[in-house]
């Protein structure tokens, strides 16, 4: 939360986490590793037996409502060690590891979310799989499902497939010209 100026003076306003703690909601913190580490430790007393949120600026300790739940997400591995989650934070959560869905499922997702035809969605997933095989061989991470959806939308909007793949997958995935060339070659083997 934070203090805001109002006509009556400075007034405390709870932030989303504090509101969830007070009222028993689920709070989802996306890409938690992007938060400063000194901020991340604030959730520690919420995620152990204490279930409290200290609000130093407001001189208050908020006890978590019995229905309060905290969910965090991040993509481990491709960030630098500086952007990894502290062990003391990781150990406070149950972890679920997500990979890419099977190709047929991913194709269905790409088709639904981008509005692309099924054959285009399948082709984009094939391209993504080729990029994912380069992971660890110059690429930190292969093409994401999100990239495929954006690429499918560009094709639907009229951009030729080859240009859409370059703009939506190849260029955003790496700045290295040699890796871009290798990825382009691998992708062109898939293109009609």
How is residue 56 annotated by DSSP? G
In whole angstroms, give the CA distance from residue 161 to residue 163.
6
Q: Report the distance separating Cα 92 and Cα 88, nearest Å.
A: 7
For 1, 88, 123, 137, 138, the CA distances from 178, given in Å and listed in that order, are: 47, 39, 24, 11, 9
pLDDT for 82 equals 56
pLDDT at 16 over 90: yes
Note if the pTM is more than 0.85.
Answer: no
pLDDT tens, residue by residue, 154-191: 999 999 999 999 999 999 998 889 888 888 888 888 87
Q: For residue range 25-42, what is the model confidence (pLDDT) as tens digits? A: 999 999 888 888 778 888
Query: What's the whole-number mean pLDDT along residues 45-69?
Result: 94
The arithmetic mean of pLDDT across residues 94-123, rounded, is: 95
Q: Where are the domains of the chain?
A: 2-90, 103-188
Q: What angle do CA 12, 16, 17 make, to 5 degrees?
A: 100
Within 41-144, residue ranges assigned H as helices are 87-90, 103-114, 118-133
């Amino acid at each position: 939360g934070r203090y805001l100026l109002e006509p009556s003076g400075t007034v405390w306003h709870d932030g989303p986490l504090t509101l969830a703690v007070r009222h028993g909601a689920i709070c989802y913190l996306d890409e938690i590793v992007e938060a400063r580490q000194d901020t991340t430790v604030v959730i520690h007393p919420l995620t152990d037996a204490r279930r409290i949120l200290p609000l130093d600026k407001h001189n208050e300790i908020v006890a978590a409502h019995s229905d309060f739940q905290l969910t965090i997400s991040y993509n481990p591995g491709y960030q630098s060690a500086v952007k990894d989650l502290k062990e003391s934070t990781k150990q406070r959560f149950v972890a679920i590891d997500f990979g890419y869905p099977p190709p047929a499922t991913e194709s269905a997702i790409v088709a639904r979310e981008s509005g692309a035809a099924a054959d285009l969605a399948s082709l984009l997933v094939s391209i993504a799989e080729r990029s994912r095989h380069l992971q660890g061989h110059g690429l930190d991470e292969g093409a994401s499902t999100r990239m495929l959806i954006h690429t499918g939308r560009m094709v639907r909007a009229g951009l030729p497939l080859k240009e859409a793949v370059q703009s939506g997958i190849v260029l955003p995935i790496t700045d290295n010209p040699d890796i871009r060339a290798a990825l382009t070659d691998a992708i062109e083997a898939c293109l009609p």
